[in-house]
Amino acid sequence: MMTANEIRNTIVNGLPCDHVEVLGDDGQHFEAVIVSPQFTGKSRIQQHQLVYLALGDRMRSEIHALSMRTFAPDAWVESAT
């Protein structure tokens, strides 16, 4: 069973991120906000695919439900204002 912190670390290890926040304490359902310069110029689908790539096999085997929002750094700044 994974913790939110393990998911966070797995994402950070596989994808350069400015900001990652993972919430969820039941070991099954998680919510993540991910800000990465790699997302710039990419579609939402491509952004999520990059996160799935960083999570690798864990996404298929260990993580039951991960809901995420992804932002390129400039979109993230806009969303905060």
Residue numbers at the binding site for another protein (CB under 8 A) = 44-45, 48-49, 52, 59-60, 65-69
- Of residues 12 and 68, the one with the C-beta less far from another protein: 68
* Closer by beta carbon to another protein, 18 or else 52: 52
Q: DSSP letter string over 3-17?
A: -HHHHHHHHHHHS--
Q: How far is the CB of 53 from another protein (least distance, A)?
A: 9
Query: Residue 78: which residues within 8 A CB-CB, separation 6 or more?
Result: none
Structure tokens at 73: 């750094």
Q: How far is the CB of 1 from another protein (least distance, A)?
A: 18
Decide whether 13 or 46 has the Cβ nearer to another protein: 46
Q: Starting from the edge strand earliest in sequence, which strands make up the sheet with 29-35, in order?
A: 19-23, 29-35, 65-71
